[in-house]
């Protein structure tokens, strides 16, 4: 069974969408990644930090999904990272209303001995120096290091970000961030430039318009499933990353063809995540419904055409 090491936030989120709002609920990039990856046959662990205000019930929820939480540090007297966001009517854009780093401000991840030989390392969106310190702790080079990041780090810590990018195999970013990182409008040119920075594979996420996978001269496009219910997009990108990295850890194959399947699995799982607030939909997601939606995915993109 493949081993997947997940590093990222475990958080309280408060979310407002045009359809409703929540108080503090379970969130965080590592949480979404872990829940999505638990759909596959993998041994996974989350390295993160919370305060002792974080309910045991949430930790148990992760444990019940077979996620190793022994490296989820609980700081006595500390407060858990808190993020509050409000979506605009089109759900494609949001305002961050509150970011309280709390215990995350002093987060120094310690990779457990048991995961220093992980096959896949999934680095959720965090300060690039924190991400880099995880790579440095690995006893051997993982088969894949997957990096998620965002424009905030490009604006504020570009040098550190470039260093961690140099050491990754796959980067997942959205289209605007790819343009910002490279000063290229064309995503094809942007992906080429990013490959020159280090990663062999570049995944560019385009929200409800799907995702692109680039590797040398190969390009693959996966649409997002047109959904009846889009309720809350929070965590969709992390769920994509969790499905993507979980599938790759489970299948032990880093060919372009297998990465194409990983993109489909990631997109498929993300399509569930957005149907309810926060992690709600992912908590009780069954294998049968995942499978049946994969069939829909296949049907959506298949066509017969007579070619000369
Ligand atoms: P996404 O919708 O994929 O951008 O991910 C949303 C998740 O990211 C939420 O559950 C938040 O707790 C978490 N988050 C929000 N802001 C940050 C940040 N600055 N650093 C790390 N994680 C964050």
Taking only the tens place, the pLDDT of each residue in 289-306 is 999 999 998 998 888 899
Check residue 85 and give its pLDDT.
Answer: 95
DSSP bridge pairs for 95 = 86
Identify the residue whose C-alpha is closest to ligand 1 atom 12: 28
pLDDT band at 29 (very low <50, low <70, confident <90, very high): very high
Residue 13 confidence class, pLDDT cut points 50, 70, 90: very high
**Candidate from 16-30, 105-119, 215-229 with smallest mean pLDDT:** 215-229
| Ligand 1 contact via 157 beta carbon (within 6 Å) | no
Residue nearest atom 16 of ligand 1, based on CA coordinates: 83
Q: Which atom of ligand 1 is nearest to the CA of 31?
A: 10
Determine whether the shortest distance from the Cβ of 51 to ligand 1 is under 6 A.
no
- pLDDT at site 27: 98
Q: Is 253's pLDDT higher than 80?
A: yes
Residue nearest ligand 1's atom 1 by CA = 235
Tell me the CA–centroid distance for residue 112 and ligand 1, in Å.
Answer: 24
pLDDT at 301: 83
Instruction: Count Cβ neighbours within 10 Å for each residue of 214-249 and write b for 16 or more, e otherwise.
Output: bbeeeebebebbeeeebbbbbbbbbbbbbbbbbbbb
Instruction: Give the lowest-confidence range in 166-175, 205-214, 237-246.
Output: 205-214
For ligand 1, the distance from its centroid to the CA atom of residue 132, given in whole angstroms, is: 19
pLDDT of residue 11: 98
CA end-to-end span of the chain: 45
Residues of the chain with pLDDT > 90, as a percent, come to 88
Cα-to-centroid distance, 238 and ligand 1 (Å): 8
Does position 228 have pLDDT exceeding 90, yes or no? Answer: no
- Ranges 79-88, 205-214, 221-230, most confident: 79-88
Percent of the chain at pLDDT exceeding 70: 100
Q: Does residue 278's CB lie within 6 angstroms of at least one atom of ligand 1?
A: no
CA of 95 to the centre of ligand 1 (A): 12
Give the mean model confidence (pLDDT) for residues 245-272: 96
28 lines ligand 1 (CB under 6 A): yes
Does the beta carbon of 237 lie inside 6 Å of ligand 1? yes
The answer to whether residues 32 and 17 touch, using CB atoms and an 8 Å cutoff, is no
Q: Which residue's CA is minimally distant from atom 10 of ligand 1?
A: 28
Crossing angle between the packed helical segments 256-273 and 29-37, to the nearest 10 degrees: 110
Residue 12 has pLDDT above 80, yes or no: yes
Q: How many angstroms separate the alpha carbon of residue 216 from the centre of ligand 1?
A: 30
Average pLDDT in the 165-169 region? 98
- Whole-structure pTM value: 0.96
pLDDT of residue 302: 86
Which ligand 1 atom minimizes the distance to the CA of 12? 12
Q: With a 6 A CB cut-off, is 13 part of the ligand 1 pocket?
A: yes
CA of 177 to the centre of ligand 1 (A): 15
For the cut 80, the answer to whether the pLDDT of residue 270 exceeds it is: yes
Check pLDDT > 80 for residue 117.
Answer: yes
Q: Which tokens is 102 given? A: 């709390």
For atom 9 of ligand 1, the residue with the nearest CA is: 28
177 lines ligand 1 (CB under 6 A): no
The whole-chain average pLDDT of the chain stands at 95
Q: Where are the alpha helices (DSSP H) in the chain?
A: 29-37, 56-64, 128-137, 151-156, 158-166, 175-182, 187-197, 236-251, 256-273, 280-283, 287-301
Q: Does residue 207 have a pLDDT over 80? A: yes
């Amino acid at each position: 069974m493949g081993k997947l090491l997940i590093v990222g936030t475990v958080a309280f989120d408060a979310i407002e969408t045009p359809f409703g709002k929540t108080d503090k609920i379970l969130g965080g990039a590592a949480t979404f990644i872990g829940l999505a990856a638990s759909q596959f046959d993998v041994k996974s662990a989350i390295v993160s930090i919370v305060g002792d205000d974080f309910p045991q019930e949430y930790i148990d929820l992760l444990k019940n999904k077979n996620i190793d939480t022994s490296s989820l540090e609980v700081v006595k007297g500390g407060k858990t990272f808190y993020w509050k966001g409000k979506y605009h009517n089109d759900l494609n854009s949001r305002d961050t209303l509150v970011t309280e780093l709390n215990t995350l401000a002093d987060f120094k991840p310690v990779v457990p001995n048991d995961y220093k030989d992980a096959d896949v390392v999934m680095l959720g969106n965090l300060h690039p120096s924190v991400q880099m310190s995880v790579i440095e702790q690995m006893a051997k080079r993982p088969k894949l290091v997957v990096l998620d990041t965002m424009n905030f780090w490009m604006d504020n810590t570009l040098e550190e970000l470039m260093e961690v990018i140099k050491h990754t195999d796959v980067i997942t970013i959205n289209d605007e961030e790819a343009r910002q990182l490279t000063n290229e409008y064309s995503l094809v040119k942007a992906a080429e430039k990013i490959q020159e920075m280090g990663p062999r594979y570049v995944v560019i996420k385009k929200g409800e318009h799907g995702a692109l996978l680039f590797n040398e001269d190969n390009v693959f496009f996966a649409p997002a499933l047109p959904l009846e219910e889009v309720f809350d997009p929070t965590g969709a990108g992390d769920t994509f990353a969790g499905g993507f990295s979980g599938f790759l850890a489970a299948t032990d194959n880093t060919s372009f063809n297998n990465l194409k399947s990983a993109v489909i699995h990631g997109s498929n799982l993300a399509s569930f995540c957005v149907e309810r607030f926060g992690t709600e939909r992912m908590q009780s997601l069954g294998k049968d419904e995942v499978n049946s939606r994969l069939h829909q995915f296949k049907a959506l993109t298949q066509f017969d055409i007579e070619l000369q």
